[in-house]
Structure 1
Amino acid sequence: MNGRSPIPRLRWLARTLRTPRRPQSLTVLVLLAACAAVLLWFARSVGKYGENLALNLGTDLVGVVITVFVIGPLISRAQEGRVREHTRLDYEWFSGQVHGATSSVKVLDTFSNLFGPQFSERLFRGIKTATAHGTRVQILLLDPDSLAVILRGRELGERSADIRRDILRNLRTLHRFAQRLDENSRPLLEVRLCSTSPGVTLYRWDERCLVSFLTVGRLSGEGVQLEVAVRSPLGTFVEQRFDELWQQSRRMERFTHLPVTLVDAAAARREFSCRFVLVDDCLYVAGADLVTYLARHRLDELSAYSEGLTHDEAHQVVVVDDESELHTRLIQHFVEKYDASATAFVELRPPVLITE
């Protein structure tokens, strides 16, 4: 018991108690406890064993109390105000932080190479691990059909169609990944689309985050990233911006599929979940089950309703001529959005509003 004091080990234990428990930390803690028990057993022959043990433990406990309740909070406050600069956004490094997250992961960007083929698989492994521990993952991207896409394209000096295609690739990748999650993890992953430019980007894991700004002529991931605490003034500001946009956003599922209800002359209802495209502010849906249903009914006796339509009134159902130029354009838009083809399209035409 007259050997080296275990105060450094106890201070490490104090830091562990202040942070979320992870399997690695618990393993190390068990190993240290086992080592301590073995050392105490070997030292049982020391004279005045009980008195020496009480003296050393009492001294070390005082050190732990001071570390946890005095020194620890002071260090934490100092670290919250510290800003660390990264020359660029390291997607692999961020994916590693996601793997160890225990409470929250957030991504806010126009689109992100994080969901591209080079980095997505590592990120998704991290998300699987994080959601298995109950971590909530929120991803907020720019709506491909919004005016903000055009404006951001002008800022980057690129065609807005290029940005739109990048966002659509992200969405297809995220949709496929969401389908691979189990029933417990799937509700913890949320992907939404905002129609307003955020002005900033956010990549958060637990209580730390990377913050950048949407600059002219350069993608946000290519510029300096500021690593700050979420509770810092900058972190709080960006978190508030994220929450505002999140509340006004729409779920990814509402962008990829439109719920449509068809009502016939006998008031019989049939519900569908359709893929759709917007062309010249007109809405066109596609779906094999929908087309089969229309083939058995008169179109002039059908009315279409959906929460996603501009008007709540009944919409007219109009089949697009498959030999028309419009049909060719619809196929192009559909392939771009879903990376898949469709053979038949149906327009949901809104009612004609008569004004005096």
Structure 2
Amino acid sequence: MNGRSPIPRLRWLARTLRTPRRPQSLTVLVLLAACAGLLLWFASRMDNYGENLTLNLGTDIVGVVITVFVIGPLISRAQEGRVREHTRLDYEWFSAQVYGATSNVKVLDTFSNLFGPQFSERLFRGIKAATGHGARVQILLLDPDSLAVMLRGRELGEHSADIRRDILRNLRTLHRFAQRLDDSSRQFLEVRLCSTTPGVTLYRWDERCLVSFLTVGRLSGEGVQLEVAVRSPLGTFVEQRFDELWQQSRPMERFTHLPVTLVDSAAARRQFTCRFVSLDDCLYVSAPDLVTYLARHRLDELSAYSEALTITQGHQVFVVDDESELHTRLIQHFAEKYDASATAFVELRPPVLITE
């Protein structure tokens, strides 16, 4: 009992208690407690056992108190101001950090190779584990239909359509993954779209994050990444930017699906969930059940309503001629957005507003 002091082990225990508990940590803690109990039992036959036990425990408790309440906060405060540079964004490394996250995961970018075929499965395993721990996962990408896409395309020296296709691929991947999650995990995953260029990128796991800036002529992931604490001045600034954009963004579901309610002349209502595309400031929906419904009704007796439409009055309904050039263009835009085919499109035309 009066041999080697267990202070180092108690200090490790103090660090463990200050961090979120994980199954691995609890297992190690139980094993150490069992070993300590076994050693105390073996040592009970020593002379002056009670005095030795009291002396060692008192010394160790003082060491733990100093470590937890004095040394620990000083080290944490010093680490918060430390900046570590990464030459590029290592997607596999970030996915590993996400796997162990227990409180927050955030991604802010125009689009990201993180959701590409090379890294997405590993990331999604990490997200599934993180949501299983109760971590909230927030992903914020650029709206493919926003003017900011064109501006970012000019900065990169590429066509804006290329960026738009990359964002659409990200969204399709994220949508498929969300469908694979169970209900309890899905409630912790949110994907939204912002229409303003963020200027910065953010890849956060718990209280640490990678920060970079959108540069001219190069993707953000190819540049230097600054690893900082979320509570550091730089981390706080980027977090505030993320929160501002998040409040102004729209959910991914509003970009992929449009709820539509058709009302006939007898005030009978029928609700549909439609895929849709926008072309030349006009809105076109595609849904087999909606087309079937239209075939049994007169179009001039129907009005379309949706909370997602900017004009709340009833929209007129028109079926697009399947032999027109417009129909061919709509097929191309639909395939680009959903990576799927469509055969029929219906235009939702806003009413003509008469002004005095």
Which band: TM-score by shorter chain? over 0.9
**Cα separation, 1, equivalents of 2:215 and 2:269:** 50
CA RMSD in angstroms, aligned pairs only: 0.7
Partner Cα distance (1:197, 1:272) in 2: 33
Which residue of 2 is the match for residue 189 of structure 1? 189
1:203 counterpart SS class: strand
Matched with 2:331 is 331
Structure 1 residues 181-190 or 346-355, which shifts more? 346-355
Compute the displacement of 1:227 (Å).
0.5
Q: Which residue is equivalent to 2:110?
A: 110
What is the alpha-carbon distance in structure 2 between the residues aligned to residue 3 and residue 295 of structure 1? Answer: 90
The equivalent residue for 1:318 is 318
Q: How far apart in 1 are the matches of 2:161 and 2:31? A: 56
**Gaps in structure 1 of 5+ consecutive residues:** none
Identity %: 89
Mapping for residues 215-226 of structure 1, pairs under 5 Å: 215-226=215-226
Q: Bigger shift: 32-41 or 9-18?
A: 32-41
- Tell me the CA shift for residue 222 of structure 1: 0.4
Cα shift at 1:308? 1.5
Could you tell me how far apart the structure 1 residues matched to 2:342 and 2:249 are? 28
The residue number in structure 2 matching 1:62 is 62
Residue 97 of structure 2 is aligned to residue 134 of structure 1: no
How far did residue 129 of structure 1 move? 0.8
Q: What residue in structure 1 maps to residue 88 of structure 2?
A: 88
The one-letter amino acid paired with 1:282 is C
TM-score by length of 1: 0.99
Partner residue, 1:32: 32
Question: How much does 1:195 deviate?
Answer: 0.3
C-alpha displacement at 1:8, in angstroms? Answer: 0.3
CA distance in 2, matches of 1:337, 1:3: 70
Runs of 4+ in 1 over 4 A off after TM superposition: none
1:75 alignment counterpart: 75
Q: Which residue of 2 aligns with 1:18?
A: 18
Q: TM-score, normalised by structure 2?
A: 0.99
The answer to whether the aligner puts 1:227 opposite 2:227 as a matched pair is: yes
Q: Distance in 1 between matches of 2:354 and 2:270?
A: 29
Give the alignment of 1:142-157 within 5 angstroms.
Answer: 142-157=142-157
Q: In structure 1, give the amino acid aligned to 2:265.
A: A
1:258-273 equivalences under 5 Å are 258-273=258-273
1:297-333 deviation line (CA, Å, top 9, x unaligned) = 0000000111111211111001000000000000000
Partner of 1:341: 341
- 1:227-249 deviation line (CA, Å, top 9, x unaligned): 00001110000000000000000
Question: Which amino acid is 2:176 matched to?
Answer: R
Deviation at 1:353, TM superposition (A): 2.3
1:182-229 Cα deviation digits (max 9, x unpaired): 010111000000000000000000000000000000000000000000
Alignment-derived partner of residue 122 in structure 1 = 122
SS in 1 for 2:335: helix
For 1:35 and 1:3, the matched residues in 2 are separated by: 16
How far apart in 2 are the matches of 1:42 and 1:3? 14
Runs of 5+ consecutive residues of structure 2 not aligned to the other structure? none
